[in-house]
Amino acid sequence: MKTLKIKEVSFSVAKKYLLQSKITNQPSRIKEAVQKIIFNVKKNGDKSLIKISNKIDETKFKTVSEASFNKSDLKKNYEKLDSATKKNLNFIKKRIINFHKAIKISDLKIKDGIFNFLGQIHKPIEKIGIYAPGGKAVYPSSILMTALVARVAGSKEINLFFPSSSENAKILMLGTAHLAGITNAYNFGGAHAIAAMAYGTETIPKSDKIFGPGNNYVAEAKRQVFGDVGIDSFAGPSEVLIISDKKKGFEELAADLIAQAEHGEDSKCIFIQIGKEGLEGLFKEISRQVSVAPRGKTIKTALEKNSMFVQVKNLEEAIEINNLVGPEHLQIIYKNFKESLLKRFIAGAIFIGENNTAVLGDYAAGPSHVIPTNSAARFSSPVSIEDFLVRTSVTEIKSIKNKAKYNELLDNSIFLAELEGLHGHANALKLRRK
C-alpha cells in the first residue's frame, strides 16, 4: 500500500542517474534580481535597504534604527522567554561551546639553522556577519551554531541578520542572540541583508566574513559578494542519505526522512536499503506519518520530486551511491559497522547507529549544523572554529649564524628568480649575500 509516488530504483539505475546529474545553477532571473539588489544597497546604503525590505518583506520601516537591536535590547528580549525555552537553549549552548573548545589549534614555530624561526600564527576574524533564515520556520538554533563558535574563536564583533517575522518569533530570535553573545541584531533578511553585511551602510558595519544558510536569493547573494567579503559556503536545500540493513521496524527511519523533507519542497532524501527486504515496510510507515504531519504537503512534494529509494546488495554498493551524492547528512544503520570504514564515506556529517539521527545534529549533538550541501562535502567541511580564524605565515632572520647555508638559500632563490625572468627579485637577493 504505497500512497506516495516514491522513486524506487536499483543500484545500476541510481548510479547512472547520479553520474549524469549536474548541480544546477541559479535561474538568470534570480541572478539578475540579486545583482540589482546588491548594486542598490552598495550605492545607496540605508535608503535602499529600507526600500527593498518594505517592498519584498512588506515591512514598514522608515529608518534602519527601527530594525536595529543593541545588546541591551537583546537582553530585554531574552528575559521575555519562558523558563523552558531558556533552559533548553542553554543546554544546547553548553554542548556547542564544549565541543568547539575541545578542538585544538596551535601556532607553529620551528627553527632550521637559517631562519631564527619559521611558523604560522592564528588570529580571530574580527567582524562576523551571521544570517539566520526565516520563512516557514524560525531557526534560533542557527544563531547558536554559528555565533557561539565565533565566540570560542575570539571574534570581537558578531552581527546578526534575520528576516521579518511574527512578534513572538522575533522575541525568540533576539533572546537567542543575547545568549549567543551577538553584538547587534538587524531585522532584515534576503539578498539585501547579505549586501548590507558585505558592504555596510551608514548604520550597519561591514563584515569581514558572512555565515549562515538561506534561500536561493541568499545563496546567490553570497556567491556574488564573495571576494569582497569571506563566506562560509554556498548552502543549498537540506539533504539526508540513510544507509540501512534493517528488515523491520521503520518508524524512526521514516521520521528521520520526514524531518529533512519538512525543511522545504526542494529538500533531498535518499534511502539506501541493503538487501531485498525492507522498502515496502518503510513506504507504508512514511505514508502513515505524512498523512498526519503538520507540513504534509511540503513533505509529500519533497519525497516525490527530489528523493530516491535505492535497493543494493551490500555495503560496498551503498558506499558507492553515497559518494556520488556526497550528502549533507549521512545516517548509517548497519549491524556490526566498523569505525575503520568511516573515511571511505563522503559526507558533511555522519550519524552512526539506530539511536542516533541527523536531527540530533541539528540541535544538541555539539558540532555546528551548518554543513556543506550539493556534494560540496568532497572539498569542504562543516562550520567549525577554524572558519573564524585566519592563518598567517611568519619568518624571521635577525642574525645569521651560518653564512654558508644562508648564501645557499639566497643562491637557490636567485636562480629561480632569473629562471622566471624576474631580475628585480634576483637583485634584492644578491644584495643580501654575505
Which tens digits make up the pLDDT trace of 18-57? 887 766 667 889 999 999 999 999 999 999 999 999 999 9
**178 labeled part of a ligand binding site:** no
Determine the pLDDT at residue 191.
Answer: 97
For residue 207, the number of C-alpha atoms closer than 13 Å in the C-beta half-sphere is 30
Q: Which residue has the higher pLDDT, 154 or 281?
A: 154
Q: Which of 252, 329, 386, 408 is catalytic?
A: 329
Share of the chain above pLDDT 70, in %: 98
Q: What does the pLDDT average to over 238-262? A: 95
Q: How far is CA 185 from CA 23, 105, 159, 180, 388, in A?
A: 34, 29, 6, 11, 19
Q: What does the pLDDT average to over 419-433? A: 97
**316 labeled part of a ligand binding site:** no
For residue 4, pLDDT beyond 90: no
**260 labeled part of a ligand binding site:** yes
Determine the pLDDT at residue 136.
Answer: 65
Determine the pLDDT at residue 2.
Answer: 45
Nearest to 191 by CA among 155, 169, 220: 220
**Which burial class, exposed, middle or buried, applies to 38 when counting CB atoms under 10 A from its CB (0-12, 13-18, 19+)?**
buried
- Contact in structure between 332 and 256 (CB atoms under 8 Å): no
**Is 126 noted as a catalytic residue in this protein?**
no
Q: What does the pLDDT average to over 219-247? A: 93
Q: What is the pLDDT of residues 67-97, one digit of tens each?
A: 999 999 999 999 999 999 999 999 999 999 9
Determine the pLDDT at residue 1.
Answer: 34
CA distance 82 to 381: 35
Determine the pLDDT at residue 25.
Answer: 67
For residue 59, pLDDT beyond 70: yes
Q: Show me where the domains of the chain are located.
A: 8-24+237-382, 45-110+127-228, 400-430
**384 labeled part of a ligand binding site:** no
Q: Read off the pLDDT band of 214 (50, 70, 90).
A: confident
- Contact in structure between 182 and 173 (CB atoms under 8 Å): no
**425 labeled part of a ligand binding site:** yes
For residue 254, pLDDT beyond 50: yes
> Do the domains 8-24+237-382 and 45-110+127-228 sit in the same CATH topology, yes or no?
yes
CA distance 168 to 155: 29
Determine the pLDDT at residue 141.
Answer: 95
**Which burial class, exposed, middle or buried, applies to 401 when counting CB atoms under 10 A from its CB (0-12, 13-18, 19+)?**
exposed
- Contact in structure between 221 and 37 (CB atoms under 8 Å): yes
CA distance 380 to 109: 27
Q: What is the pLDDT of residues 293-324, one digit of tens each?
A: 999 999 999 999 989 999 999 999 999 999 99
Q: What does the pLDDT average to over 224-240? A: 92
Q: Which helix (H) or strand (E) element contains residue 27?
A: none
**Is 328 noted as a catalytic residue in this protein?**
yes
Mean pLDDT, the chain, whole residue set: 94
**423 labeled part of a ligand binding site:** no
Give the CATH H-level superfamily of domain 45-110+127-228.
Nitrogenase molybdenum iron protein domain (3.40.50.1980)
Q: What does the pLDDT average to over 231-239? A: 88
Query: What is the grid cell recorded at 216?
Result: 536561493
Give the CATH H-level superfamily of domain 8-24+237-382.
Nitrogenase molybdenum iron protein domain (3.40.50.1980)
Nearest to 382 by CA among 373, 374, 390: 373
Q: Which of 265, 328, 408, 418 is catalytic?
A: 328
Q: Read off the pLDDT band of 163 (50, 70, 90).
A: very high
Share of the chain above pLDDT 90, in %: 85
